[in-house]
Amino acid sequence: MAQALSETELLALVDRLADGQWHSGEDLAAASGISRAALAKRVAKLAEWQLAVEARQGLGYRLPQPIERLDPARLQAAVPQLRVQVLPVTDSTSTQVMAASAESDPQAVLAEVQTAGRGRRGRQWVSPFGAQLALSLAWSFDAMPPQLGALPLAVGVICANALRQAGLDTVGLKWPNDILVDGRKLGGILLEHRGEAGGGCRIVAGIGINLDLPAGPDAQIGQPFINLDAALAAIGRPRCGRNALAIALLRELHALFEGYGRSGFAPLAARWSELDVTRDRIVHIFRGGQGSDASLEGYARGVDADGALIVESDGQRHVLHSGEVSLRL
């Protein structure tokens, strides 16, 4: 029976191709101590990680663009307050950190590729190898934090702050969990929580940010998307490294959760309002179900203290705690 290729062997090949330059098959095979036929099998296996390795006779192999692997030692050293783990491949970072013992909180899991990443309402979250920043952070509160419903909005502000550190000041937020640039989706947030014995609460915040997604997954994402590299290039800023962005996000998230149990959403409410791309615009709300109550159209009027969306329709104010917001441009 043929022996399965190990992640270590495949990652070594990724590292040799990570510069995006051409590498001869002979050199790659020699570096790994294998035959050309065995090398071809490893290259084919990388397709399972959604890595499209180009092959050309006389030139060898290359990746369409360079990849910066996540460096677990660098991340851990930069954020010692968290237990940081980097997985080459996983089903979902949120699934992994949710299954981990709460005794290790606060902890974060990042992955090079997710095979079953998810967004709100069970949507698939596309995560090809190295093309996104996919991370989840778990935090245990001794008691239910105030304004829990607004926590996804607070995490959105934190993401915007980290992206600003990366040079992107054109980011906006769409209630309740989308990160947008010029109306296109740059990233998303998914929060899950469960009550703990003694009245505590455990939160898992999952974040995905597009860095260099290949063209084509709009249908899977469900809306037009934009990559961080492209958004930065559009305003004349250099690309941001994955490790630098991960460090900024982890630091911001730690600071948020450390203080949220005391302060709640109030310190971030004004900043969220500044980033709100729906305010005073016509929105269409899909609330599920059937009949006249299944949807609502009106003007978005920001959020209340608990993070609920306020919509003004036919002279009435509706306070919505969940739903889908679709901008009518």
Can you tell me the distance from the alpha carbon of 156 to that of 328, in angstroms, rounded to the nearest whole number?
A: 22
Catalytic residues: 120, 185, 328
Q: How many CA atoms lie within 13 A of 62 on its CB side?
A: 13
First-residue to last-residue Cα distance in the chain = 58
- Structure tokens belonging to residue 218: 């709009």
6 by DSSP, 3-state: which? Answer: coil
- For 28-45, letters b (16+ CB in 10 Å) and e give bbeeeebeeeebeebbeb
DSSP string of 52-75, one letter each residue: --EEETTTEEE-SS------HHHH
